Structure 1
Amino acid sequence: MRALAGHLMDAGRIDLRDTWTRHLAGLLAVAAAILILFAHDVFDLVTIWWTSSTFSHCLFVPLLIGWLVQQRRAALRMIDPTVWMPGLAWVAAGNFAWLVGDAAGVGMIRHFGLVMMIQGAVLGMLGPAVGRGLVFPLCYAFFMVPFGAEIVPPLQLLTAKIAMALLGMVGVPAHIEGIFITIPSGYFEVAEACSGAKFVIAMAAYGVLVCHVCFRSWTRRALFLASALGLSVLANGVRAFATIYVAHKTSVDAAVGFDHVVYGWLFFGLVMAAVMATAWPFFDRKPGEVPFDPRNIPLAGVVARPVSSTVGMALALLLAGPAWSMVSAVRSQPLPVAFGLPTITGWQRSAMPQAYPWKPRFDGADGFVQGRFADARGHVVDVVIARYARQGEGRELVGFGQGAADPDSEWVWSSPASAPGQARGEQITAPGPVVRHVVSFYRVGRGPLTGSAAQVKLATLRARLLADDQRAVAILVSAEDSERHNADAAIGAFLHDAGRVEDLADAAIAIR
């Protein structure tokens, strides 16, 4: 009897190994199809990881996921994998998310869709029981997506305010204007790289991992994560203050040297060490504790289906998004050949040089014109019109690097500025300092004028998903701001005399 039981157990293990082999082969086939069909997005992801210091921590996320799966390997061997149709529904959701990101020109949404498709492939080809065992590694995969760039401007302003508060505490006279701080010995900018965004984003990924590995209590997890993120922001403000304080006590050159020594991943490592040292006594998960118990995972309720047919269904779902994107692309409408700056009553073209060269950035624009106008009252403005027959990857009305402040120039965003209700106002600054106010209007197809990047993306999304009119235009009106010349007054006078900005936009892309 013992021999027979041992034989049956051995046979069961062989069958289970064969089952895992079939399902892993199916998963490999679907994953390979995802990587091939969306190779451009995979390449974009890896390029961002490798070239952007803000998202370099993403390089470690796949390795951490592998480690998390390895922790669960013994428990997973006790589960019989099976195909699961709701998992393929998640593949379809990811494919639609990719299509939305492609239509709106938002790489982050495409990348989220890519991760969702891979998650759905795991769920669809291995089943809900395996999915329950891998729920944290699958969710942690979202940290492979470079997200969080939107918090850079608020963090710049917050870092500057923290530095100003600390300077006031130690009696250093200082003046703040947006992200620029002036003290008697120098002029400092809280640049994008100094905002602390990369520390906050990396700390979020690190903190979530620690919450899972070291804590069982959700209250302790929440307190740890909130403390870690808050300390990252505060520590970066202290670093900015210390740099300015060193300049006040010594010289700007000494402060730059101090900042180069303190700033970077060494600084972040010290912050992480402080966070871990503080939290260590409150860890409530034992080292080496099994992440999950397979005996607690329900295995019933799944209908057995062939692996090969499920792979075929997954491939059909994966092709849907790229196919519709191609259909939408061929239905775009051309732009008129004639294109130039408008004629405005009371304003003349001016050859007066700019105090500091300024040219906004609109990569891939199908038309770009820029000119300077002046009126009899002494107002001077710069006008830019950029237009697109169809937006796409790397050629968008709004996006990273696009717009008033070209990141490859000396112009930097410093603060919001006043603007009409349907426009975006911002203040940008160049060495000198030279201050400039910019009012930006955007229009997609026959939609309303807007200054909101989110509304531009939504209008672009709608036009491309419905294969509608995809022509788009940006109109920027800008003026230098100084004691002698009020930028807002000049911009307001020009817009008043120009009349309806909608008419200027329509003329640029031949809507009417």
Structure 2
Amino acid sequence: MNREWIPRPQAVRQIWPFVATFCVMVLVTFPTTEGIVSRWLKLDESYSHGFLLAAVSLFLTARAARIHPVKAGFYPFWLVPLAACFIVYWLGGLIRLQALQQLVMVPMLLSTFAVLMGWRQIRWFLVPLGLLFLTVPVWDFLSWTLQLITVSVNQFLLGFANIEFEVEGVFVYLIGVGTFEVAHGCSGLRYLLVGQALVLIYGEMYLSRLRSRVTLFCLGVAFALVANWIRVFVIIYMGYETNMQSSLIDDHENFGWWVFAGTLVPLYFLARLMEKRDDESVSSQGIDIEREGIASGHDMTAVAVIAALGLATWLALPDKHGNIASEPEGYVIDLRERYAPVFGSGLDGWRPDILNPDRVYVQTMFDRQQARSGQGLGMTFYLGTFTYEYQRNRAELIQYSNRLYDRDFWIPEGFFDVENSLNIPVQGVTLKHRVSGQRVHLGYSYFVQGQWETDQWRAKLAQVGGFFSGRDDASLLISAVACDGCAVAVTLAQFIESTFPVILEQIDQEVVQPGR
């Protein structure tokens, strides 16, 4: 059978509108796209599948274009959702909320191509292009909920294992054995994303009925969650049986993927049954060009309109380059009247890991007054302030790279509130070193555009409300103490009451006032 080949000039004619509009999207969203790709490069995170899934998306898109040939035209109705996407993207840049910009990336791409193809053609590309949504790092918002669900399920399972335990938040305390933290990496987010991708790909390639695709997708989500629950339960159980000596505790990542692979066996058995049940005689569909508004053949007009909207959005975006200083500036904070510095930028081996702040103050110190009276012997304080004058790509207060402690060396042992006379909400946490057993006690709070928060996601959302306050700055204020037998909450409160007002005065002078 002879295969028909599209002449090269004709092929270029059909492809160039899509290439041109895609380049416009890259130009408009480049800082956001760069931030997404940088997450793909972190192989130990939940989005390391990004490059592979992008390649699969490209393959499925080409496959859909071969099965359902398309012809570029101009369908003005789809300018409405495209303009809405541009407005949301611009608003995200205006209020310094990168997550909002990332959230609208894939809808923006689909709306752009819908302007060129209309519904009858773009519908074949919803799954191939929609797969890219699973690579966008906005799914972290589900992590905390997934952690709590995992703890609840394991609390139920451990009840049948005759194990003495207590649960507090995301911590499982095995009485007389040790403590497990169901941390971000134990939420099952990465299994959920990969599981969704696999069933969507299978459904796109082998299933013909929408009901079968939806059923397989729901099964894929369920099996991915179950795989993580089994993984966490086995690790906790083996830790209990071996008195925390099991190799699974240190190598739980590889074990998790083996469990996940095991759950794929029954999943794809069910998928095969659905495939056989689907009608295999799918009526052949030729070129089906939708006639709505201005008919196909006006692709140059469509590209021009899309480019004009994109250029207007790009010009309206504030701080498009998002410059990051090579070295942060320092605050000039004088606490010598009460405190004396101690050499070092950490406290007993602990220090926070904060990426690309604009201004920093970090100091370890001791209390002169307590030292003179002999009451503060063996008590050391830490004071840190990390400020972003405005938030942008790779320089945000709430981002995955910013961590209060290194999870490889420190484990939270308990949480508490630090009540103080300043009426500042401060979250307290006691950290224990995994090897030495040394303890440090932290008290921290986020100061985002004039609003105090102790929860990361509330601090993220505070960027929206802060837009109306006329401020762009965001800071992490963190205090810490290492002591033996002291009243931790009271000691931290006194330290905060004597230091935070000085820091806030400096933030107002160095960050807020110059911008007014």
TM-score normalised per structure 1: 0.75
* Residue of structure 1 equivalent to 2:409: 410
Q: CA offsets, 1:109-136, max 9 Å, x none? A: 4344443343233112233331234334
Aligned counterparts, 1:19-418, within 5 A: 22-35=13-26, 38-53=29-44, 54-66=46-58, 68-69=60-61, 72-73=64-65, 76-77=68-69, 81-103=72-94, 105-174=96-165, 178-179=170-171, 181-182=173-174, 184=176, 188-209=180-201, 214=207, 216=209, 225-250=217-242, 252-256=244-248, 259=251, 263-278=255-270, 281=273, 286=278, 290=282, 299-303=291-295, 306-326=298-318, 339-341=331-333, 343=335, 348-349=339-340, 351=342, 356-371=348-363, 372=365, 374=367, 376=370, 381-405=381-405, 410-411=409-410, 417-418=416-417
> Does the CA contact (< 8 Å) of 1:214 and 1:285 recur in 2?
no
Instruction: Supply the AA of the counterpart residue of 1:485.
Output: C
Greater displacement, 51-60 / 417-426? 417-426
> In the TM superposition, what is the alpha-carbon distance from 1:440 to its structure 2 partner?
0.9
> Does the CA contact (< 8 Å) of 1:381 and 1:490 recur in 2?
no
> In the TM superposition, what is the alpha-carbon distance from 1:510 to its structure 2 partner?
5.0
Larger helix fraction of residues: 1
Cα pair distance change 1:158/1:329, threshold 3 Å:
same
SS at match of 1:25: helix
What is the alpha-carbon distance in structure 2 between the residues aligned to residue 437 and residue 81 of structure 1?
Answer: 59
SS at match of 1:51: coil
> Does the CA contact (< 8 Å) of 1:424 and 1:452 recur in 2?
no
Query: Are 1:438 and 2:437 an aligned pair?
Result: no
What is the alpha-carbon distance in structure 2 between the residues aligned to residue 425 and residue 210 of structure 1?
Answer: 45
> In the TM superposition, what is the alpha-carbon distance from 1:352 to its structure 2 partner?
10
* Residue of structure 2 equivalent to 1:4: none
Cα pair distance change 1:404/1:507, threshold 3 Å:
farther
What is the alpha-carbon distance in structure 1 between the residues aligned to residue 173 and residue 343 of structure 2?
Answer: 30
What is the alpha-carbon distance in structure 2 between the residues aligned to residue 47 and residue 63 of structure 1?
Answer: 16
Give percent identity, aligned residues only: 18
> In the TM superposition, what is the alpha-carbon distance from 1:442 to its structure 2 partner?
0.8
SS at match of 2:268: helix
What is the alpha-carbon distance in structure 2 between the residues aligned to residue 16 and residue 126 of structure 1?
Answer: 21
Cα pair distance change 1:17/1:329, threshold 3 Å:
closer
Match of 1:506 among 497, 505, 508: 508
> In the TM superposition, what is the alpha-carbon distance from 1:64 to its structure 2 partner?
3.9
What is the alpha-carbon distance in structure 1 between the residues aligned to residue 297 and residue 29 of structure 2?
Answer: 27
Cα pair distance change 1:356/1:166, threshold 3 Å:
farther
SS at match of 2:350: coil
What is the alpha-carbon distance in structure 2 between the residues aligned to residue 147 and residue 174 of structure 1?
Answer: 34
SS at match of 1:56: coil
What is the alpha-carbon distance in structure 1 between the residues aligned to residue 276 and residue 289 of structure 2?
Answer: 23
What is the alpha-carbon distance in structure 2 between the residues aligned to residue 225 and residue 253 of structure 1?
Answer: 38
* Residue of structure 2 equivalent to 1:491: 492
Q: How many residues align?
A: 489
Cα pair distance change 1:490/1:229, threshold 3 Å:
farther
What is the alpha-carbon distance in structure 2 between the residues aligned to residue 422 and residue 255 of structure 1?
Answer: 43
What is the alpha-carbon distance in structure 2 between the residues aligned to residue 91 and residue 239 of structure 1?
Answer: 42
Instruction: Supply the AA of the counterpart residue of 2:188.
Output: G
SS at match of 2:405: coil
Query: Are 1:477 and 2:479 an aligned pair?
Result: yes
Cα pair distance change 1:438/1:285, threshold 3 Å:
farther
What is the alpha-carbon distance in structure 1 between the residues aligned to residue 52 and residue 281 of structure 2?
Answer: 23
What is the alpha-carbon distance in structure 1 between the residues aligned to residue 164 and residue 67 of structure 2?
Answer: 62
Gaps of 5+ in 2: none
What is the alpha-carbon distance in structure 1 between the residues aligned to residue 481 and residue 465 of structure 2?
Answer: 33
What is the alpha-carbon distance in structure 2 between the residues aligned to residue 419 and residue 290 of structure 1?
Answer: 65
> In the TM superposition, what is the alpha-carbon distance from 1:490 to its structure 2 partner?
2.4
> Does the CA contact (< 8 Å) of 1:200 and 1:232 recur in 2?
yes
> Does the CA contact (< 8 Å) of 1:397 and 1:403 recur in 2?
no
SS at match of 1:449: strand
Instruction: Supply the AA of the counterpart residue of 1:388.
Output: Y
What is the alpha-carbon distance in structure 2 between the residues aligned to residue 143 and residue 406 of structure 1?
Answer: 27
Gaps of 5+ in 1: 1-12
* Residue of structure 2 equivalent to 1:3: none
Instruction: Supply the AA of the counterpart residue of 2:409.
Output: E
What is the alpha-carbon distance in structure 2 between the residues aligned to residue 381 and residue 211 of structure 1?
Answer: 57
Instruction: Supply the AA of the counterpart residue of 1:491.
Output: L
> In the TM superposition, what is the alpha-carbon distance from 1:286 to its structure 2 partner?
1.8
> In the TM superposition, what is the alpha-carbon distance from 1:199 to its structure 2 partner?
0.8
Q: CA offsets, 1:161-212, max 9 Å, x none? A: 5445444432234455643644655554444433322112222333445566
> In the TM superposition, what is the alpha-carbon distance from 1:148 to its structure 2 partner?
1.7
Q: CA offsets, 1:318-362, max 9 Å, x none? A: 223332335688999xxx9883346599x5446499763222233
Q: CA offsets, 1:394-422, max 9 Å, x none? A: 22222212252356x73456776425686
> Does the CA contact (< 8 Å) of 1:373 and 1:383 recur in 2?
no
What is the alpha-carbon distance in structure 1 between the residues aligned to residue 274 and residue 299 of structure 2?
Answer: 46
Cα pair distance change 1:304/1:419, threshold 3 Å:
farther
* Residue of structure 2 equivalent to 1:7: none
> Does the CA contact (< 8 Å) of 1:94 and 1:116 recur in 2?
yes
Instruction: Supply the AA of the counterpart residue of 2:264.
Output: M
SS at match of 2:317: helix
TM-score normalised per structure 2: 0.75
What is the alpha-carbon distance in structure 2 between the residues aligned to residue 292 and residue 143 of structure 1?
Answer: 30
> In the TM superposition, what is the alpha-carbon distance from 1:83 to its structure 2 partner?
1.2
